[in-house]
Amino acid sequence: MPPVYDWWFLTKFKMPKIKIAPSILSVLPKVTSEASILSADLSKINREIKEVEKYADLVHVDVMDGIFVPQTTISSDFVKTIKTKVPLDVHLMVHEPSNSYLKGFIDAGAYSITIHEEACREPSKQIEFIKKNKIKAAISIKPKTSLDKIKKYLGMVDMVLVMTVEPGWAGQKFISSAMPKVAELRKLKPKLDIEVDGGINSYTARIAYDSGANVFVAGTSIFGKKDRVAAIKEILGSLK
Environment class of 170 (CB within 10 Å of its CB; exposed 0-12, middle 13-18, buried 19+)? buried
Given 6, 62, 65, 193, which residue is catalytic? 62
Confirm if 184 and 86 have CB atoms less than 8 A apart.
no
Q: Is the dihedral of CA 196, 146, 173, 1 positive or negative?
A: negative
Active site residue 148: no
- Cβ–Cβ < 8 Å for 153, 123: yes
CA distances from 90 to 98, 209, 234 (A): 15, 22, 24
As a whole number of angstroms, the distance between CA 14 and CA 238 comes to 19
Tell me the sheet residues that pair with 124.
none
Q: Are 112 and 134 in contact (CB under 8 A)?
A: no
Exactly one of 6, 65, 197, 210 is catalytic; name it: 197
Q: Cβ(29)–Cβ(60) under 8 Å?
A: no
Q: Is residue 62 annotated as a catalytic residue, yes or no?
A: yes
Choose among 218, 166, 170, 229: nearest CA to 195.
Answer: 218
Q: Which residues are catalytic?
A: 62, 197
